[in-house]
Amino acid sequence: MNTDARNLNAGINARPRRSALQRLAAGIAVLTLASPLLAWADCVDTRKPTAAEIEFFNRGTAALVAALPPVPVGARLENKDSLRTLGSNQCVGQTGDFTLEATRYYEHNNRSTRVYMFMNVAAWPISRDYPSAAYGTPNPGRSAGLKVNNVMWMVDGSDSPLRKALADAIDRERLQAFVGKPLPTVAESQALAARAVPATVVAATVAAPAAAAGPAPATQTAQPVAAQPAGQPPASDTTRDAVDTVNRLRGLFGR
């Protein structure tokens, strides 16, 4: 990692990191912020984005933001949303050479969870050890043709009632319906987001002591995330080492 990346990482990590999961969040942030620079490095010549690219980018970003679950009852926003920007320099000879992304940061009982939404990634990660799903097919050209080639979401954080509430709140059918179809207008996505109903974070039920009268109440169990479409990589609930995950996520941007 070069000096600029280390400085950026240090700025993001202003709060102490006490686990591999927390280091993972910083690694994803650095990778996400650096990827536009990596894209420009591959260009021989650059140009300004076209009006069609700007419209597609704005529509796609608004659709991803609307798909982010609202803050559940009892939780709060940890930081403001992170949105990928289009940038003023695009590669000459390529159209739609960009990935769209929206991220929201939540906190409940000192547990942090992040929801990521991606549109038009270049490749799927090798594995995803957290609630997630992917629709469509990866495309090395990303947004080439200015159409929705794929959509992917992931809920990153330790296993908790907050993570479950957020994963359950994601409208999978709506995200899958984006693939190959015209995107809604920015106004339509904003109106949909305004009507979203926050979920409630439900704490796990604790079994009654053995001495209590009557049968012990059943312990609440987490419901599995909806099955992945055929051919898509499975989702699971264990977060792997931060470095491995950052390396896998590099494939999302085709760099």
Question: Which tens digits make up the pLDDT trace of 126-167?
Answer: 766 889 999 999 999 999 999 999 999 999 999 999 999 999
Note the pLDDT tens digit of each residue in 203-246.
765 444 444 444 444 433 333 334 444 444 444 433 344 445 54
The whole-model pTM stands at 0.68
The pLDDT, as a whole number, for residue 147 is: 96
For the chain, the farthest-separated pair of C-alpha atoms sits apart, in whole angstroms, at 76
d(CA 199, CA 219): 20
Residue 109 near residue 158, CB atoms below 8 Å? no
Q: At what angle do helices 186-195 and 51-67 cross, to 10 degrees?
A: 10
